[in-house]
C-alpha cells in the first residue's frame, strides 16, 4: 500500500527551470516535452502498479498537484485544502492535468475549473468525486493510514486483480467491459485463496489466506 502526499506543490513543474530552458536553441521544446513525458509516465505508473495508491492532501494541490490527486486511486484531504488547475491564469492551459481531472469529475465541472482557473474547496472536491474523504488536518495521517490498513487486510491478489480490471474496463464499451470482467471473475474464482474466503464466509469464520 502506497501513499501519495499533495501539499501546495506543482509536482515538479519548476517554472523557473522551464523559463530557463527557453534559452536553448530549440526554445525549450525538447526540455518541455521531456518534462511532460516524465510526468505522464509517473501518473500512469500510479494506476499501473498493483497496490492501491492513496493521496494524502493538504494545503493547495494545483496543476500537476491536482493531477496527482486525480491519478491516485483514493484521496483523503484535510479541511481547508484547495484544488485547482489554474495554469490558464498565467497563459498555460493545464492540458496534461486535464487528462486525469476529466476522468474523475463531471465534464462541465472539469472544464469550468480549467478555463476559469478557480479553486475548488475540499468539500466541493469530495462532492465532485475528486477525493474520498475530508477530515480535520490533525486527523489526516491517521485517517489515510486507517484507510490503507482497511484495504491491506483484504486478499492482496483480489485487490491487485480488481485494480487492474477497474482501469481496463472503464475504457471499454459496455458489452466489452462485461465480457472482460466476466473472464476476470472466472480467473479470480479459481484462486485458492478466494475459495478459502468463500468457504470462511459460509462457515462464519475468518479466512486463512496464504496471501501468495
pLDDT of residue 5: 46
How would you write the pLDDT of the chain (212 residues) with one tens digit per residue?
444 444 444 444 467 777 888 888 888 899 889 989 999 999 999 999 999 999 999 999 999 999 999 999 999 999 999 999 999 999 999 999 999 999 999 999 999 999 999 999 999 999 999 999 999 999 999 999 999 999 999 999 999 999 999 999 999 999 999 999 999 999 999 999 999 999 999 999 999 988 76
Cα distances from 34 to residues 24, 44, 93, 94, in angstroms, run 14, 15, 18, 16
CB 161, CB 188: distance < 8 Å: yes
Determine contact, residues 18/30, Cβ cutoff 8 Å.
no
Which pLDDT score is estimated for 212?
Answer: 64
pLDDT at 210: 87
pLDDT value of residue 23: 85
For residue 211, how far is the Cα from the chain centroid? 25
pTM of the predicted protein model: 0.89
Round the average pLDDT of the chain to a whole number and report it: 91
Task: Give the residue ranges of DSSP H helices in the chain.
Answer: 15-21, 29-48, 64-71, 95-101, 107-116, 122-128, 140-152, 156-169, 174-189, 192-202
144-169 pLDDT, tens digit per residue, is 999 999 999 999 999 999 999 999 99
List, for residues 73-94, the tens digit of each pLDDT value.
Answer: 999 999 999 999 999 999 999 9
Report the half-sphere exposure of 151 (CA within 13 A, side-chain side): 21
Farthest-apart Cα atoms in the chain, separation: 71
Close Cβ partners of 1 (under 8 Å, ≥ 6 residues apart): 51, 52, 54, 148, 149, 151, 152
* Chain position carrying cell 476529466: 102
Cα separation of 41 and 24, whole Å?
24
Radius of gyration, CA atoms only, the chain: 20
Q: Which residues, in sequence order, are CB contacts of 9 under 8 Å at separation 6+?
A: 59, 61, 62, 65
10 Å Cβ neighbour count for 28? 17
Amino acid at each position: 500500500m502506497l501513499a501519495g502526499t499533495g501539499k501546495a506543490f506543482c509536482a515538479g513543474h519548476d517554472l523557473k527551470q522551464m523559463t530557463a530552458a527557453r534559452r536553448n536553441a530549440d526554445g525549450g521544446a525538447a526540455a518541455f516535452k521531456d518534462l511532460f513525458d516524465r510526468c505522464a509516465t509517473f501518473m500512469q505508473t500510479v494506476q499501473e502498479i498493483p497496490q492501491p495508491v492513496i493521496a494524502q492532501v493538504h494545503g493547495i494541490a494545483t496543476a500537476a498537484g491536482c493531477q496527482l490527486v486525480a491519478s491516485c486511486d483514493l484521496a483523503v484531504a484535510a479541511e481547508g485544502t484547495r484544488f485547482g488547475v489554474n495554469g490558464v491564469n498565467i497563459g498555460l492551459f493545464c492540458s496534461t492535468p486535464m487528462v486525469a481531472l476529466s476522468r474523475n469529475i463531471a465534464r462541465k465541472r472539469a472544464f469550468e475549473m480549467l478555463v476559469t482557473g478557480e479553486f475548488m474547496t475540499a468539500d466541493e472536491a469530495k462532492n465532485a468525486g475528486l477525493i474520498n474523504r475530508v477530515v480535520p488536518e490533525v486527523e489526516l495521517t491517521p485517517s489515510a493510514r486507517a484507510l490503507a490498513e482497511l484495504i491491506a487486510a483484504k486478499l492482496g491478489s483480489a485487490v491487485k486483480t480488481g485494480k487492474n480490471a477497474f482501469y481496463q474496463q472503464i475504457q471499454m464499451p459496455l458489452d466489452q467491459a462485461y465480457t472482460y470482467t466476466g473472464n476476470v471473475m472466472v480467473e479470480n474464482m479459481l484462486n485458492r485463496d478466494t475459495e478459502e474466503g468463500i468457504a470462511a464466509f459460509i462457515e462464519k469464520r475468518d479466512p486463512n489466506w496464504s496471501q501468495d
